[in-house]
């Protein structure tokens, strides 16, 4: 890689129990202290993410943020922002549930497909655009990881994002549909 350091290193999906033991956090912070990494980060969800944020030892977090997964957006990202952590959204297009006409049993998109159908959102001419713009411009999000191996897909994603935030009315509808269906999770 021809570098003396790595910009960001994420502890990825460590359980709360592993984080509480402290060894992995200490190792990460030691690497930071030695200049091997610039930013110590955690990638995960729910209780483990909340624990990581509350340790005060991380510079950044990565968590799922998309139309079908707004749990961190509603609860943990505001806390992380208060603590001046960087926020990276993963799974911004929720594994593209709109690509499936029927429930994609066993596919990574299955859970998101179920949520998306349950939300009963107004139809979109371009779901990719709707999902991307919702996530990228969500309050608190600093960056989003949109994976691709196709340069043309990447160029299209950039073009869609350059359109700016979604209409506030649509964003409100999306948030309400999520809240109405998963209020018990928020």
pLDDT over threshold 80, residue 183: no
- Asked if residue 44 is part of any domain, the answer here is yes
Report how many domains make up the chain: 1
Give the integer Cα–Cα distance in Å for 5 and 13.
23
- Asked if residue 78 is part of any domain, the answer here is yes
Task: Give CA separation, 131 vs 128, 170, 179, in Å.
Answer: 5, 11, 17
- Asked if residue 1 is part of any domain, the answer here is no
State both tokens at 184: 């018990």
- Asked if residue 166 is part of any domain, the answer here is yes
Q: 69 forms bridges with which residues in the sheet? A: 66
- Predicted confidence at residue 37, as pLDDT, reads 97
**pLDDT over 70, % of the chain:** 98
- Asked if residue 77 is part of any domain, the answer here is yes
Q: At what angle do helices 110-119 and 168-182 cross, to 10 degrees?
A: 110
State both tokens at 140: 């608190």
Mean pLDDT estimate for the chain: 95
Q: What's the whole-model pTM score?
A: 0.92
Give the integer Cα–Cα distance in Å for 37 and 170.
40
Report the CATH number that the domain containing residue 93 is assigned in CATH: 3.20.20.100
- Full domain range(s) for residue 50: 6-182
- Asked if residue 27 is part of any domain, the answer here is yes
**Residues ≥6 apart with Cβ < 8 Å to 16:** 47, 48, 51
- Asked if residue 156 is part of any domain, the answer here is yes
């Amino acid at each position: 890689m021809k570098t003396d350091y790595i910009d960001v290193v994420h502890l990825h999906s460590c359980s709360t129990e592993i984080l509480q033991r402290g060894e992995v956090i200490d190792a990460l912070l030691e690497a930071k202290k030695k200049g091997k990494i610039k930013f110590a980060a955690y990638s995960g969800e729910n209780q483990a993410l909340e624990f990581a944020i509350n340790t005060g030892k991380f510079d950044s977090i990565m968590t799922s943020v998309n139309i079908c997964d707004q749990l961190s957006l509603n609860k943990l990202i505001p806390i992380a922002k208060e603590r001046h952590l960087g926020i990276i959204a993963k799974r911004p297009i929720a594994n593209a549930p709109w690509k499936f006409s029927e429930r994609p049993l066993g596919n990574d998109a299955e859970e998101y497909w179920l949520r998306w159908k349950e939300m009963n959102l107004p139809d979109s001419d371009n779901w990719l655009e709707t999902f991307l713009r919702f996530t990228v411009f969500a309050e608190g999000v600093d960056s989003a990881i949109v994976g691709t191996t196709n340069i043309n897909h990447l160029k299209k994603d950039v073009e869609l994002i350059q359109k700016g935030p979604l209409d506030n009315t649509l964003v409100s509808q999306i948030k309400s549909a999520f809240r109405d269906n998963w209020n018990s999770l928020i």
